[in-house]
Structure 1
Amino acid sequence: MQFQQLAYFLAVAEARHFTHAAERMRVAQPSLSKQIKALETELGAPLFSRARGNVTLTPAGEALLPLARRMLADAETARREVAELAGLRRGRVRLGATPSLCAGLLADVLARFHGDYPGVELQVEEGGSRDLVRDLARGQLDLALIILPLQSSDPSLVTEEILREDLVVASAVKPGRRTHMRIDELRGRPLVMFRRGYDLREATLTACRQAGFEPRFAVEGGEMDAVLRFVEAGLGVAVVPSMVLDGRPGLVGTPILPGLRRTVALAHRKDVEPTRAAQAFRSELLSFLVEASDMGTLSPGIEALAHRRPGENS
């Protein structure tokens, strides 16, 4: 079995068309078909059904697909890891993060890391925790900032809690700002709700249901920036992390009683040691949080849980 054969198999599996896959891989279609056939012969089972011109995966192909994705991703990681041995002059960090972290904390950390390691390529994938965990398992990410607890525990991941933050009710600025509110005061109020798959959507729904009511949506389905803009426009209120309100003077955040909080963790695969570039990013992130906590510059409502390991740079 060769990596090239797996790459051809993956291209056909994704395109569901041999000619289109060959064009994507920049190889002659007969050569691609020959390599797929050789792979099928070695594995002892057909990988594709070609009935009536339709290309579909056989059960053997379905079983191989996630393994091929992971093997190719790990091979690419290995190549880059070797290239990184020259003092991190080169390398890559593939980082996943939830939209609220991308809108808040992450930009400052990425800027600092890029200043220290300008030759390291940074790739950021924005998504919900479930999507990020899936991408980690497939080998498509090196690290991910996710929200705990996960809806289903994944023994293949290592998670490290790095911060805890308050969730607040975001609303348009109005006179007579309140110091706090109870979750049951959202009963009957129009809410601006995130799309399905957002951790914040599930946290809001769970809190409301535990208080004995179903929330009423004014509008739903937005990403973080859209939700905040809708709130600024007066469509309703939204439950958001406190950090995303920095730099938005048109919004105020009202703390919720009893305290509604969430925990952010840094995750990576247990079976693959993070690359040197990924380890350097982790150290940079923890240093940033520790220093910001010591200096009191973290946004209100954020508690750093991170600690440097002995010997890490300050």
Structure 2
Amino acid sequence: MTIKQLSYFLAVVDTGRFTQAAALCRVAQPTLSKQIRTLEEDLGETLLTRGHDNVTPTAAGEALLPLARRIVADSETARMEIAELAGLRRGRLRLGATPSLCVSVVADVLEVFHGRYPGIALQIAEGGSQDLVADLQRGQLDLALVIDRGETVRDLALTPVLREELVVVAARGRPDLGEHIGIVELAAHPLVVNREGYELREVTLAACAAAGVTPRIAVEGGEMDAVLRMVERGLGVAIVPSLVLAGHPTLRATRLDESGEHADRGWSHRTISLAHRTDVAPTRAAQAFREDLLSVLARTSRTGHLPPGVRYVHPPTLTA
């Protein structure tokens, strides 16, 4: 089994055609077909069902697929790591972060990082925390800023860096929710919730369940920007991180009240952690970004310039 064979296998699965896969890999189709047959002979199983119109993986192929993706991703990381040995003048950093962080903290840190290492290519993945964790485990990211629920996550190390407050947002001009609102009262209002894959969605629904109430969901399935826009249009209210309020003057924020007898205490604040895989050493670029992240957050905290509702968590010394 070789990396090249696995790459060819992935290309066929992703395109559904040997011809298109060969073009994608920039090899002749007979060469690609021969390498995949050799792989099947080596494993002793047929990996692909060769139909007239398309090619699909067999049960054995499905079993190999996630492993192949991870092996190929790790091989690419290894090549990038060798390139980085020249003093970080070349290389790549693949960073994942939630939307609220991408428009605030991440942009500030990347400005510093890019100034120090302009030759490092930056690839940013924006999405829900659950999606980012899965991408990190598959080897598709080097680092990710994710929501930390205090649980052990397979093959990942999480280091807390920020603590942020969740608030309820409503459009200005709509009924005033007051300075505080409990989850029972909130459930009486139409809610706008994110799509699956967002930790925020799970937290909101879990808080309602813990309080014994059924939320009135008006709209569901959007990314963070879409949720905010729908709230601005008056379609409902939403629970969001206080970080996202900057740049949205038409939204009014109400703090969550956890003092009621049905409150799920502690859920109105959440911890943001920097995550990396434990089964492979962080790349030099990832280590450098980690240093810049902590430096920028510490400095911003000292000068009082962190966004409202956000505080810096002083982490222990990070190790590879």
TM-score, length basis structure 2: 0.90
Residues 287 and 308 of structure 1 are in contact (CA less than 8 Å); yes or no, is this contact kept in structure 2? Answer: no
Q: What do residues 20-61 of structure 1 show as CA deviations (whole Å, max 9, x unaligned)? A: 211211211111101111122222222222255652222332
**For 1:154, what is the secondary structure of its paired residue?**
coil
Provide the C-alpha distance between the structure 2 equivalents of 1:268 and 1:69, rounded to a whole number of angstroms: 18
1:88 maps to 88
Q: Is 2:172 aligned against 1:173? A: yes
**For 1:72, what is the secondary structure of its paired residue?**
helix
1:220 maps to 220
Aligned 1:1-314 pairs, distance under 5 A: 1-50=1-50, 54-149=54-149, 153-174=152-173, 178-258=178-258, 260-307=268-315, 309=317
Which amino acid in the other structure matches residue 239 of structure 1?
I
2:263 maps to none
Structure 1 unpaired stretches of 5+: none
Structure 2 unpaired stretches of 5+: 259-265
Name the count of aligned residue pairs: 310
Residues 148 and 158 of structure 2 are in contact (CA less than 8 Å); yes or no, is this contact kept in structure 1? Answer: no
Provide the C-alpha distance between the structure 2 equivalents of 1:244 and 1:236, rounded to a whole number of angstroms: 17
Q: What do residues 65-124 of structure 1 show as CA deviations (whole Å, max 9, x unaligned)? A: 222111111111111111111111111110111222223322212222112211111101
Which amino acid in the other structure matches residue 12 of structure 1?
V
- Tell me how far 1:177 sits from its aligned partner: 7.7
Q: 1:310 to 1:264 in 2, by over 3 A?
A: closer
Q: What do residues 119-176 of structure 1 show as CA deviations (whole Å, max 9, x unaligned)? A: 11110111222211221121111011111227x7432111111111110011123597
Q: Percent identical across equivalent pairs?
A: 59
Q: What do residues 191-235 of structure 1 show as CA deviations (whole Å, max 9, x unaligned)? A: 122122221111111112222211112222221111111212222
Provide the C-alpha distance between the structure 1 equivalents of 2:217 and 2:255, rounded to a whole number of angstroms: 20
Residues 159 and 315 of structure 2 are in contact (CA less than 8 Å); yes or no, is this contact kept in structure 1? Answer: no
* Greater CA drift, 300-309 or 256-265: 300-309
Provide the C-alpha distance between the structure 2 equivalents of 1:279 and 1:234, rounded to a whole number of angstroms: 44
Provide the C-alpha distance between the structure 1 equivalents of 2:234 and 2:109, rounded to a whole number of angstroms: 32
Provide the C-alpha distance between the structure 2 equivalents of 1:232 and 1:54, rounded to a whole number of angstroms: 45
Which amino acid in the other structure matches residue 44 of structure 2?
G
Provide the C-alpha distance between the structure 2 equivalents of 1:306 and 1:76, rounded to a whole number of angstroms: 33
- Tell me how far 1:13 sits from its aligned partner: 1.8
Provide the C-alpha distance between the structure 2 equivalents of 1:187 and 1:157, rounded to a whole number of angstroms: 35
**For 2:134, what is the secondary structure of its paired residue?**
helix
Provide the C-alpha distance between the structure 1 equivalents of 2:281 and 2:218, rounded to a whole number of angstroms: 45
Provide the C-alpha distance between the structure 2 equivalents of 1:23 and 1:292, rounded to a whole number of angstroms: 49
Provide the C-alpha distance between the structure 2 equivalents of 1:156 and 1:185, rounded to a whole number of angstroms: 40
Provide the C-alpha distance between the structure 2 equivalents of 1:179 and 1:53, rounded to a whole number of angstroms: 61
Q: 1:51 to 1:201 in 2, by over 3 A?
A: same
Residues 187 and 215 of structure 1 are in contact (CA less than 8 Å); yes or no, is this contact kept in structure 2? Answer: yes
**For 2:254, what is the secondary structure of its paired residue?**
strand
Residues 286 and 308 of structure 1 are in contact (CA less than 8 Å); yes or no, is this contact kept in structure 2? Answer: no
Q: 1:108 to 1:308 in 2, by over 3 A?
A: farther
* Greater CA drift, 79-88 or 61-70: 61-70
* Greater CA drift, 134-143 or 180-189: 180-189
